[in-house]
Amino acid sequence: MFDGNGAPRIGVYVCHCGTNIAAVVDVYAVAAAAAKIPGVVVAREYKYLCSDPGQELIQNDIREFKLNRLVVASCSPHLHEATFRAAALAAGLNPFLVQMTNIREHDSWVHADRRRATEKAVDLVRAAVWRVRRHRPLEKGRIPVHPEVLVVGGGIAGIHAALSLANAGRHVYLVEREPIIGGHMAQFDKTFPTLDCAACILTPKMSAVKSHPNITLWTYSEVTGVEGYVGNYSVQVTRYPRYVREELCSGCLECIEACVYREAKFADRFNYGLGKRKPIYLPFPQAVPQMPVVDPETCIQFKSRKCKKTCLEACGERRAIDFTQREQVERIQVGAIIIATGFRTVDPRRMPYYGYGVYPNVYTALEVERLVNASGPTGGKVILRDGRKPATVGIVHCVGSRDEKTNRWCSRVCCMYSLKLAHLIKEHTGAEIFNFYIDIRTPGKGFEEFYQRLLNEGVHFIRGRVAEVTDWALDPTEEGRLVIRVEDTLLGTVRRIPVDMVVLATGLEPREDAQEVRRRFNITCSTEGFFLERHPKLAPVSTFTDGIFLAGCCQGPKDIPDTVAQAGAAAMEALALIDAGFVEQEPNTAWVMEELCSSCKICVALCPYNAISVPAETGKATINRALCKGCGTCVAACPSGSIVQNLFEDDQIFEEIEGVLAYA
């Protein structure tokens, strides 16, 4: 392989790109002009250089003319730099002795004047030739990868990703903030459009997580610190005390029975306050882990230290209940991280005109989800807060979705879950049901058929965004009921529909601490606050931080099948990373000429990737090559000019500038 020494022998290749370039730029003239530049041994044009014959042409020239540098004048390096570097490597040339110059996006596509476009192409080629003369051969680095994976969030996305990796034989840490796993899906009654019982399809996966030898499940825990880089993350997990020792508890739940509170009397968060629980409780019957939690806010022992502690008596010899339990911090090493932190639903109090929190019979969809559920607070009976069975129900779509005043995006799942709830409420109560929609969006397998089924069941659909939910009555039929005022845009008139119960189909939005999580994992958010994927089409589960992947609604609203698909994809990407055993590193990183460094530490604070440190023993800045992304910020900022970036060295850049300006 050429070692970078000796006189440059440069080959210049000008691509026609069919007619993309050749129609505007005189490629023959460019090649002829390039041939005259000192150091150029051979200059050719070709119809498609990226094609196999095009690459072979270059490789043959490397061997025949003993070329030691290449310039390819074609499209953007984003598209084909890897192609030509690989072709050079296959012919025995160091790939970093190849320079591309873009005469398509930067020239033929943006100019019409053939003569001047050709002149510009010649200038660009000359600049590239002058630059490549200064190139040095570089080697890619290899960083070993830690074989374990962290999954953050124990909803269906996190569960599926963790199980996929664990089944592939990899060890996974699954960290969940709540005392139980299952996320929002555990709260659903049925799933659309098949009306499968959500718990029936979720709980087997939850149990599998608990019993899988390759999964370490930490519930009631949070990731509180992340350091390191792709393949080598060191993560700090804080485990909150549940005051029940996981290793000792057998899940008999006798302590709950024995609690000094005979009746459950505290608002139950899992059921959105519709049900009641005791200070020691299991959030729902099929909870995983099957282990009670003590709420120190309501437990008498925590409030007064004077409880009879009947729960301890019930626990007996097992001694699983431990009021002295404290927060614990665990530190783990992982190679990849999958973030599946999910979503929250829009708080309908933000839209006071829908009466949530004002009129007791206005519910959110998730609350109704608990009402229809057999293990919910009413045992599956759809009844109002005063115990009445509703005779008419209005379901308001797009609450906090597609709305300039709150969130502009479509939350994707609300139309379908509204249809599902309409079906379930009708099934449970026989009530007359009105859906108020802007558009019915049912793009999915079996979704449109489900909509047709609902139409046939006699559910009413009124097209129009609801103006308000109110209790002002105009006539006796409205007295004591909720009135939905809406413009029926198909009839072209304002209607007043009196109902007994209003269900607000609240949209999905990023969690309240999404920004905090984003900073902790050093990933990015889109404007609305969902975590940003690396590419919307071609890298939908990767982030801009290598080794961190996304799954589920933290990346954007999606339904269960899409979430599971994405979780599988994220698991696959993580597996590909850790199974390779190492990651290759581009050599365009920065390094410090220590004898010039003045230890001013300006670069340390500027580095967006925390790659620079100043060890006490040397007092000189050092750059961790594994963390450096080659952004060049430190290079530009260094007052003593002691930082050099490979492939962007000063003399390379100045030569390139001189080259482009050296027109005849």
Residues in the site for other proteins, rule: CB under 8 A?
351-353, 470-474
Which C-beta is closer to other proteins: that of 238 or that of 470? 470
- Cα 181–Cα 187–Cα 192 angle in degrees, nearest 5: 115
Which C-beta is closer to other proteins: that of 226 or that of 499? 499
State how beta strands 141-144 and 149-152 pair. Answer: unpaired
Is the peptide bond between 213 and the residue preceding it cis, with omega within 30 degrees of 0? Answer: no
Residues 320 and 249 sit within 8 Å (Cβ to Cβ): yes
Residue reference for tokens 């339990």? 325
Q: How far is the CB of 521 from other proteins (least distance, A)?
A: 37
3-class DSSP state of 210: helix
Structure tokens given for 78:
């984003």
Angstrom distance (rounded) from CA 572 to CA 540: 12
Q: How far is the CB of 607 from other proteins (least distance, A)?
A: 43
Q: Cβ neighbours of residue 348 under 8 Å, at least 6 residues apart?
A: 354, 356, 357, 362, 364, 399, 400, 504, 506
Angstrom distance (rounded) from CA 499 to CA 392: 5
Ramachandran bin of 229, using left for φ above 0, alpha for ψ from -120 to 50, beta for the remaining angles: beta
Q: How far is the CB of 367 from other proteins (least distance, A)?
A: 22
The strand pairing partners of 356, in sequence order, are: 359
Angstrom distance (rounded) from CA 369 to CA 103: 59
Which C-beta is closer to other proteins: that of 384 or that of 467? 467
Q: How far is the CB of 82 from other proteins (least distance, A)?
A: 54
Q: How far is the CB of 471 from other proteins (least distance, A)?
A: 6
Q: How far is the CB of 394 from other proteins (least distance, A)?
A: 17
Q: How far is the CB of 143 from other proteins (least distance, A)?
A: 54
Residues 354 and 364 sit within 8 Å (Cβ to Cβ): no
Distances (CA, A) of 564 to 42, 441, 541, 634: 54, 21, 12, 41
Q: How far is the CB of 363 from other proteins (least distance, A)?
A: 19
φ and ψ at residue 460, rounded to 5 degrees: -85, 140
The strand pairing partners of 334, in sequence order, are: 233
Which C-beta is closer to other proteins: that of 351 or that of 424? 351
Which C-beta is closer to other proteins: that of 35 or that of 474? 474
Q: In the sheet where 172-175 sits, what is the strand order?
A: 215-218, 172-175, 149-152, 336-339, 548-550
Which C-beta is closer to other proteins: that of 254 or that of 468? 468
Distance of CA 636 to the CA centre of its chain: 32
Q: How far is the CB of 407 from other proteins (least distance, A)?
A: 17
Half-sphere exposure of 358 (CA within 13 A, CB side): 14
Q: How far is the CB of 353 from other proteins (least distance, A)?
A: 6
Q: How far is the CB of 239 from other proteins (least distance, A)?
A: 42
Which C-beta is closer to other proteins: that of 353 or that of 648? 353
Which C-beta is closer to other proteins: that of 304 or that of 472? 472
Which C-beta is closer to other proteins: that of 234 or that of 470? 470
Angstrom distance (rounded) from CA 186 to CA 175: 17
- End-to-end C-alpha distance for the chain, whole angstroms: 35
φ and ψ at residue 86, rounded to 5 degrees: -65, -40
Which C-beta is closer to other proteins: that of 472 or that of 664? 472
Which C-beta is closer to other proteins: that of 263 or that of 475? 475
Q: Cβ neighbours of residue 520 under 8 Å, at least 6 residues apart?
A: 223, 224, 225, 226
